Amino acid sequence: MSDPVLAIETSCDETAAAVVDGRRILSNVVASQAELHSVYGGVVPEVAARHHLTTVNAVVDQALADAGLTLADISRIAVTRRPGLIGALLVGVATAKSLAYATGKDLVMVDHLHGHIAATWLEPVALDPPFVALTASGGHTRLDLVENYAAPVLLGQTLDDAAGEAIDKGARLLGIPYPGGPGLEALAREGDAGAFDFPVGLKGRGPSADFSYAGVKTALLYAVRELGEEGTTARRADLAASYQEAIVRPLADKLMRAADTHGVPAVSIGGGVAANGRLRELVTEGAADRGLQLAIPDRALCTDNAAMIAAAAAFTPIIAWPDFVGEDAIATAPPGGIAA
């Protein structure tokens, strides 16, 4: 039976809409604002919100057109409610509420992190629990035990910076424009990952599932200062490779350790940093060594998108028309977890 969901995501700097029917993606449109923010070296919340406002309707129209559907064919509407930039979130939430209200449809308000984890539910990956999920993005770095897509259980998270945040800040130090991930990865491919011994966060802390990236960021800053401008330019690729390694290796190692601890048959990676080729290589090796199934969604489903929001919506309570009228966007994540 056809049950298409229209999902909208505007929590940060991508304006995204998608149509998903069950586990099947019918369309997935992402209008990135990255270029707009790169002149500032990072996302400017007010600029993001204003741009979402001018783009969101066109992105929704495109998602419907790509799916070959009209709003009348849609069963219900899903939207990212939290966490994120409040002005940016509000644009998506107001758009989704208006569309749902005007068309008499129910609304599902989704947690963005739940979306990153639920991306693996979609075809062609279509992973079924139990598994351990690594989510590493610009705002979050965490491990969850997923025995049921409706309620991932937090195993560990970053105690300071997110992995993507550390990547973007490090890239900036090396003169790579925002967002630094793809540029850092390209530069790292030409360098030696063993050239600099950057510290791995929480290394001496035994089997903790938590992460820390403040130390490695500072270590890169000191290395760049010590090398000076000329020295840094000469060693840029080695710096990038060593820095990338210090960030992605603990992600892979702790994912594998959590899989061992919880005895699951599968692991997954998601979030923008999961687009990283070196991380993909390390988790592929780790999973093969242990005979684990590895689920890696397509890059377009790792970075922010609305298809993943539709996926999480399948495991989030539906708010019946018109009870959602008083519902709001929320900037923060709930303590320790993911909001249902």
Site of interaction with ligand KG4 (CB under 6 A): 12, 137-139, 164, 167-168, 179-182, 185, 271-273, 275-276, 303-304
Nearer to Zn ion, 60 or 162 (CB): 162
DSSP annotation string for 98-163: HHHHHHT-EEEEEEHHHHHHHGGGSTTT---SSEEEEEE-SS-EEEEEESSTT--EEEEEBSSS-H
Residues near Zn ion (CB under 5 A), total = 2
Nearer to ligand KG4, 51 or 76 (CB): 51
Nearer to Zn ion, 51 or 116 (CB): 116
Closest CA to 246 of 194, 284, 207, 286: 194
Question: CB of 147: closest distance to ligand KG4 in angstroms?
Answer: 24
Cβ pair 158, 139 in contact under 8 A: no
Nearer to ligand KG4, 273 or 287 (CB): 273
Closest CA to 109 of 262, 335, 330: 330
Question: CB of 161: closest distance to ligand KG4 in angstroms?
Answer: 10
Cβ pair 223, 196 in contact under 8 A: yes
CA distance 156 to 110: 21
* Among Zn ion, ligand KG4, none, residue 92 binds (CB under 5-8 Å by kind): none
Query: Pick from 95, 137, 242, 244: which binds Zn ion (CB under 5 A)?
Result: 137
DSSP 211: B
Stretch that binds Zn ion, among 50-58, 133-141, 217-225, 242-250 (CB under 5 A): 133-141
Question: CB of 329: closest distance to ligand KG4 in angstroms?
Answer: 15
| Residues in 259-318 at the binding interface with Zn ion, rule: CB under 5 A | 304
Stretch that binds Zn ion, among 55-63, 130-138, 217-225, 316-324 (CB under 5 A): 130-138
| Residues in 83-112 at the binding interface with Zn ion, rule: CB under 5 A | none
CA distance 321 to 140: 32
* Among ligand KG4, Zn ion, none, residue 274 binds (CB under 5-8 Å by kind): none
Query: What are the start-end ranges of the H helices in the chain?
Result: 34-38, 45-67, 86-103, 112-118, 163-173, 180-188, 214-262, 277-290, 299-302, 307-313
Binding stretches for Zn ion (CB under 5 A): 137, 304
